[in-house]
């Protein structure tokens, strides 16, 4: 052993959770689950209006069919129709984006990869603009519907351009950038030529991401997409480890490289599209959460992915709560806070890993 | 495991990289694959390892055509150690070696007790036991190379394919590795640049030139001064050291290579 043992044990000692014992990882995960539940309760409570934990319990209890003291309708509505779906949506979107980021970083072997790498957020904004400014769909589809359709169209174009290729890493990244640029340009073109000042402002706000319009239907959509996506990505966990040394080594370890990449691209694109359509393009979660969690539990995906989902959920829940209350009654787009919170955390992780 | 390569070609737009290669490797044989840069050694290895599909021809494991086999099925027979092993990962060395158990594991489970015992044995065989918790980025080039070889052994393959595995290794580890490969019961096909090392340890040498297989046989039959000049472009003579091993002494670049 050479070098500085103190630094080294600081690095591999912490990441030692990954392989050595499933027991400590499981205990840590339970702890994280408790932190998630606790955070959710606190985040529901915080904000304008006097809401206590008892109110939350009562609102939940009534829906679960338990005999509970009926709440005043205003408080009940605040908890059940506004706060709770918003907090849950933040958790689901945070988890989805973080898992997508972790998967795409491994698939493309690019530590800068994030869920928007595939260009779906640009497609979503183009779709949203088409609905809001050009009235495509004549009012039959909302902003979310337009955004989801736009995301699918851009992903379809991406896959069309990637057809008959081996889906190799650099080609995915470059084609994704190209497709993203195209749809960004289309969005700008429509906004500049046809949009009025109010629409432009509304769209810009939406692009930065906001959970303000969170409702139960969006929660349901993200929960279904998130559950399916999480299972599919988790099933690919060994393959994602195999990609560490490139496609040929992965193949020699029994990974069907092209099929795995295809499954992961489609899954992450659908998951990201659902998230973006619900709340806009919230940046930074999908980039930094996987890096931070890798630092905590090591890079083995079987352990990394569940923890990434957990931390992503907690992180976005708190970022959104801050966005809601920090400059109350004015609400700041949550993307601003994910960056404001994320940048220092990220720098800390890089520093501890000796990369800065 | 017996490997049979029949009339194998592998092409890219612009030309054939491997051309009409026929090769038979007996079970347990250690065969050295030699040839200058760009002669098609790595591509041939990739085709035999099943990570590239041949443009024409067949690869057989124990007589069975592997075309259409799943990557997992192939990985249960053959391990492959690539030449370039760069990675941004911070996997620990032990985790990298444990990747060799992947073809035998459910996608939902981590390594079990039996897997860990196999990984421990592979680590011990390459002298890496003390480094198992070290992060990948803290390892030297030679340690990484040995980790990949341990990973291949953990795969418990019936055939090991290696692309210039002695790169990055110091002299002692080069000899240790070649001892290991020559001593194993597994079939070994190894691409090598060091001709004396290849001659000393391999049962048979296979010489490639511009994508074609130009000679195959015992080292002293393949490594003749004429071939060394024609294929490698060197002016060399062969001899024997005190132990009776074939040696290749290069005097310099050949004046008028063929």
All domains in chain A, ordered by first residue = 14-352 (1.10.3470.10)
Residue A43 pLDDT more than 70?
yes
Confidence of residue A9 (pLDDT cuts 50, 70, 90): very low
Q: Would the CB atoms of A252 and B75 count as touching at under 8 Å?
A: yes
pLDDT at residue number A18? 41
How many C-beta neighbours within 10 Å does residue B213 have? 22
Q: Does A246 touch chain B (CB under 8 A)?
A: yes
How far apart CA A265 and CA A276 sit, in angstroms, is: 16
pLDDT at residue number A2? 39
Confidence of residue A350 (pLDDT cuts 50, 70, 90): confident
Exposure on the CB side of residue A211, measured as CA atoms within 13 A: 34
Among B89, B187, B74, residue whose Cα is nearest residue A252: B74
How far apart CA A272 and CA A283 sit, in angstroms, is: 11
Q: Does A238 touch chain B (CB under 8 A)?
A: yes
> Where do we find the tokens 């969006």?
A218
Q: Does B71 touch chain A (CB under 8 A)?
A: yes
Task: Report the share of chain A in percent with pLDDT over 70.
Answer: 91
Structure tokens at A35: 């932190």
Measure CB to CB from residue B102 to each of A19, A254, A257 and give the nearest one: A254
Q: Would the CB atoms of A252 and B79 count as touching at under 8 Å?
A: yes
Residue A285 pLDDT more than 60?
yes
Q: Would the CB atoms of A253 and B107 count as touching at under 8 Å?
A: no
Q: Which residue of A has its CA nearest to B134?
A: A12
Q: Does A236 touch chain B (CB under 8 A)?
A: yes
Confidence of residue A11 (pLDDT cuts 50, 70, 90): very low
Q: Would the CB atoms of A252 and B50 count as touching at under 8 Å?
A: yes
Give the angle B71-B192-B14 at the CA atoms, nearest 5°: 65
Q: Would the CB atoms of A19 and B92 count as touching at under 8 Å?
A: yes
Contacts of A73 (CB under 8 A, 6+ apart): none
How many C-beta neighbours within 10 Å does residue B103 have? 25
CATH of domain B1-77+157-218: 3.40.50.300
Q: Quick one: average pLDDT of A133-153?
A: 82
Q: Does A102 touch chain B (CB under 8 A)?
A: no
Indicate the pairing of strand B30-34 with strand B204-209.
parallel
Residues in chain B, pLDDT under 50: none
Selected residues 296-355 of chain A with any CB under 8 Å from a CB in chain B: 298-300, 302, 353
Straight-line distance from the first to the last Cα atom of chain B, in angstroms, rounded to the nearest whole number: 37
pLDDT at residue number A172? 92
Size of interface A-B (CB pairs under 8 A): 116
Exposure on the CB side of residue A63, measured as CA atoms within 13 A: 11
B252 DSSP β-pair partners: B235
Q: Does A21 touch chain B (CB under 8 A)?
A: no
- Kindly report the nearest CA distance between residue A121 and chain B, in angstroms: 27
Confidence of residue A22 (pLDDT cuts 50, 70, 90): low
Measure CB to CB from residue B89 to each of A237, A253, A299 and give the nearest one: A299
Q: Would the CB atoms of B91 and A241 count as touching at under 8 Å?
A: yes
Q: Which residue of A has its CA nearest to B86?
A: A245
Query: B79 contacts in A (CB within 8 Å)?
Result: 252
Domain ranges of chain B: 1-77+157-218, 89-155
Burial per residue of B15-54, b for 16 or more beta-carbon CB atoms within 10 angstroms, e otherwise: ebbbbebebebeeebbbbbbbeeebbbbbbbbbbbbbbeb
């Amino acid at each position: 052993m050479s070098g500085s043992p103190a630094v080294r044990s600081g690095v591999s000692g912490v990441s030692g959770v990954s392989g050595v014992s499933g027991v400590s990882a499981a205990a840590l995960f339970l702890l994280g689950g408790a932190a998630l539940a606790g955070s959710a309760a606190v985040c529901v409570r915080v904000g304008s209006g006097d809401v206590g934990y008892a109110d939350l319990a009562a609102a939940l209890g009534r829906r679960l069919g338990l005999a509970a003291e009926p709440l005043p309708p205003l408080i009940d509505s605040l908890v059940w129709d506004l706060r709770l779906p918003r907090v849950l949506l933040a958790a689901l979107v945070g988890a989805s984006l973080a898992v997508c980021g972790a998967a795409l970083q491994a698939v493309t072997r690019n530590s800068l990869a994030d869920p928007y790498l595939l260009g779906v957020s640009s497609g979503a904004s183009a779709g949203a603009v088409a609905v809001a400014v050009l009235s495509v769909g004549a009012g039959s589809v909302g902003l979310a519907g337009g955004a989801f359709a736009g995301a699918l169209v851009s992903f379809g174009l991406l896959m069309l351009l990637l057809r008959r290729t081996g889906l190799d890493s650099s080609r995915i990244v470059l084609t994704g950038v190209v497709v993203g640029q195209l749809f960004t340009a289309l969005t700008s073109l429509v906004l500049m030529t046809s949009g009025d000042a109010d629409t432009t402002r509304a769209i810009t706000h939406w692009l930065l991401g906001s959970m303000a319009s969170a409702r139960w239907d969006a929660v349901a959509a993200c929960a279904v997409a998130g559950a399916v996506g999480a299972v599919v990505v988790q099933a690919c966990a060994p393959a994602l480890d195999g990609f560490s040394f490139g496609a040929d080594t992965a193949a020699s370890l029994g990974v069907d490289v092209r099929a795995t990449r295809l499954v992961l691209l489609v899954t992450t694109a659908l998951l990201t599209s659902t998230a973006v359509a619900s709340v806009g393009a919230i940046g930074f979660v999908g980039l930094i959460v996987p890096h931070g969690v890798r630092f905590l539990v090591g890079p083995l995906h079987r352990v990394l992915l569940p923890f990434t989902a957990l931390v992503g959920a907690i992180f976005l829940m708190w970022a959104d709560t801050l966005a809601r209350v920090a400059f109350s009654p004015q609400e700041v787009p949550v993307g601003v806070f994910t960056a404001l919170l994320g940048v220092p955390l990220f720098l800390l992780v890089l520093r501890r890993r000796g990369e800065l | 495991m017996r490997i049979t390569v029949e009339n194998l070609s592998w092409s890219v737009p612009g030309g054939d990289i491997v051309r009409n290669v026929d090769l038979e490797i007996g079970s347990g044989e250690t065969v050295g694959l030699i040839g200058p840069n760009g002669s098609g050694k790595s591509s041939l290895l990739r085709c035999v390892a099943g990570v590239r599909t041949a443009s024409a021809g067949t690869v057989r494991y124990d007589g069975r055509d592997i075309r259409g086999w799943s990557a997992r099925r192939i990985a249960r027979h053959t391990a492959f150690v690539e030449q370039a092993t760069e990675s941004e990962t911070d996997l620990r060395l032990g985790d990298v070696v444990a990747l060799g158990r992947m073809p035998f594991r459910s996608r939902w489970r981590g390594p079990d007790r039996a897997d860990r015992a196999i990984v421990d044995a592979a680590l011990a065989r390459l002298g890496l036991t003390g480094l198992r918790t070290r992060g990948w980025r803290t390892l030297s080039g030679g340690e990484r190379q040995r980790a990949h070889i341990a990973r291949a052994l953990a795969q418990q393959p019936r055939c090991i394919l290696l692309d210039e595995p002695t790169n990055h290794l110091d002299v002692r580890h080069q000899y240790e590795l070649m001892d290991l490969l020559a001593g194993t019961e597994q079939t070994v096909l190894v691409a090598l640049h060091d001709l004396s090392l290849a001659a000393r340890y391999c049962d048979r040498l296979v010489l490639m030139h511009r994508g074609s297989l130009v000679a195959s046989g015992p080292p002293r039959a393949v490594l003749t001064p004429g071939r060394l000049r024609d294929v490698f472009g060197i002016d060399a003579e062969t001899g024997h050291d005190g132990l009776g091993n074939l040696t290749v002494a290069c005097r310099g670049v050949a004046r008028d290579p063929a």
